[in-house]
Every structure is written in structure tokens, then in C-alpha cells.
């Protein structure tokens, strides 16, 4: 199945939406930097840095999890094979059909 049209949002739009808060923060920092006391700037900088790490952490964890359990990893392949095997367990048993075909002499 072709997934080219699954997400109608253009790639550049998503990239600019992700970059906009960083650019606004940098602009605000340049404009307000001289107005704040040095110790206040340091505290705000550390707090904003910690918030940035917390904001990026889910993306990083998802990326690492995708590398470990993704479809191309050893674990991903094992999981896919196991799901295929488990899907076959729910199939109906064909013993009755085989028995009827034997009785008719077709098997």
C-alpha cells in the first residue's frame, strides 16, 4: 500500500513549526539579555535548558526504542515472526473437512 498521501502536511511546514519556538526564544534572549541581572540570566538559562531537555526527551526515547525494537532490528524481526505465528493459531481446524474428503475418496 502506498503511504505517500497519508500525511497531507508538507515537510517544510512541520520543520518550520518545530524551529519557530527556538527562534523566538533566541530573539527574546537577545532582546532581554541586557535587562536582566547576571545571576537572573544564569538561572533562567539553566531552567530553559532543562525544559528543552525535557521537551526533547520523548523524541529521543522514541527514536532509541525504534532502533532497538524496530522492524529492521533483531528484536523487531523476532516480534514480527512471533505475531505471524500467533495469528496462525486462531485458524479453524480442518480435520472435519479432511475426514469428509477421505470418506469421498478424494484424498
| Domain edges within the chain | 15-89
CA distance 51 to 57: 10
- CA–CA separation, 4 vs 2, rounded Å? 6
Residue 88, classed as helix, strand or coil, is helix
**Measured distance CA(14)–CA(33) in Å, rounded:** 29
Average pLDDT over residues 39-45: 81
SS3 content of the chain, % helix, strand, coil (to 5): 75, 0, 25
What average pLDDT score do residues 51-70 get?
82
CA-CA distance, 23 to 17, in Å (whole number)? 10
pTM over 0.85: no
* 102 grid coordinates: 477421505
Query: Which sign, positive or negative, has the C-alpha torsion 12, 13, 14, 16?
Result: positive
The pLDDT-based confidence of 1 (bands split at 50, 70, 90) is very low
- Across the range 54-77, mean pLDDT stands at 82
| Per-residue model confidence (pLDDT) at position 9 | 61
Which pLDDT score is estimated for 106? 75
Count CB atoms within 10 A of the CB of residue 36: 14
Amino acid at each position: 500500500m502506498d503511504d505517500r498521501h497519508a500525511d497531507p502536511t508538507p515537510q517544510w511546514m512541520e520543520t518550520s513549526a518545530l524551529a519557530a519556538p527556538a527562534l523566538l526564544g533566541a530573539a527574546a534572549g537577545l532582546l532581554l539579555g541586557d535587562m536582566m541581572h547576571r545571576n537572573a540570566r544564569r538561572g533562567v538559562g539553566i531552567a530553559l535548558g532543562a525544559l528543552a531537555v525535557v521537551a526533547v526527551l520523548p523524541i529521543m526515547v522514541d527514536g532509541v526504542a525504534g532502533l532497538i525494537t524496530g522492524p529492521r532490528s533483531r528484536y523487531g524481526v523476532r516480534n514480527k515472526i512471533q505475531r505471524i505465528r500467533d495469528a496462525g493459531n486462531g485458524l479453524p481446524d480442518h480435520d472435519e473437512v479432511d475426514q469428509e474428503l477421505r470418506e469421498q475418496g478424494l484424498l
